[in-house]
């Protein structure tokens, strides 16, 4: 009985959640683990509309970079800007110039409201934490741009 109680006491508690900063993506979705493969080299990106019906949107797409360790770098500073549009009137946009096949891309959108305010560039924040009962806890949280892959 004592061993079972000790096992339960030492049990690792793991939790995680995803939150969004700014406008939430509709397609491709974010926070799904691996990047969604889109339907074409000129995908239509969609996001939830701003609460201001007259808001306009800015969109940017950055090329993802494969690190030395073989992991995709999800930093805006890592890759080159491959697409940028401002003043979009709808909460969706079809990329006008073809992207490379089998590429990983990072994207984000922000809104420009009629009152002159500009929202933050949208990201998702995946929080992952664990704790050992009776000991300290650890949490990892990072703001990441949305990701997608183009087909082969």
pLDDT in tens, 80-121: 899 999 999 999 999 999 999 999 999 999 999 999 999 999
Q: Residue 18: inside a domain, yes or no?
A: no
| CA angle, residues 143, 89, 34, in degrees to nearest 5 | 30
Domain CATH code at residue 57:
2.60.40.10
In order of 101, 121, 136, 146, the CA distances from 141 in angstroms are: 31, 17, 17, 15
- Residue 110: predicted pLDDT: 97
Instruction: Report if residue 6 sits inside a domain.
Output: no
55: in domain: yes
Q: Is residue 3 part of a domain?
A: no
**Total tally of structural domains belonging to the chain:** 1
Range of the domain at 126: 23-149
So what's the pLDDT on residue 35? 85
Is the pLDDT at 135 greater than 60, yes or no?
Answer: no
CB atoms within 10 A of CB 104: 20
Flag whether 116 is in a domain. yes
Which residues lie across from 109 on neighbouring strands? 59
Answer whether residue 85 is part of any domain: yes
Contact 43, 113 (CB under 8 A): no
12 located within any domain: no
25 contacts 43 by C-beta, under 8 angstroms: no
Residue 36 lies in a domain: yes
């Amino acid at each position: 009985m004592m061993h079972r109680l000790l096992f339960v006491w030492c049990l690792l508690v793991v939790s995680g959640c995803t939150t969004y900063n700014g406008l939430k993506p509709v397609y491709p979705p974010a926070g799904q683990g691996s990047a969604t493969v889109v339907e074409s080299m000129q995908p239509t990106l969609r996001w939830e509309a701003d609460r201001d019906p007259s808001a306009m949107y800015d969109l940017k797409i950055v090329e993802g970079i494969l690190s030395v360790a073989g992991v995709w770098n999800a930093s805006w500073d890592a890759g080159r800007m491959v697409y940028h549009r401002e003043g979009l009137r709808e909460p969706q946009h079809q990329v006008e110039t073809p992207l490379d096949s089998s590429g990983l891309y990072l994207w984000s959108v922000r809104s420009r409201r009629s009152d002159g305010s500009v929202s933050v560039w949208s990201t998702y924040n995946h929080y992952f934490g664990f704790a050992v009962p009776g000991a300290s806890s650890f949490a990892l949280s990072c703001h990441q741009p949305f990701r997608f892959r183009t087909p082969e």
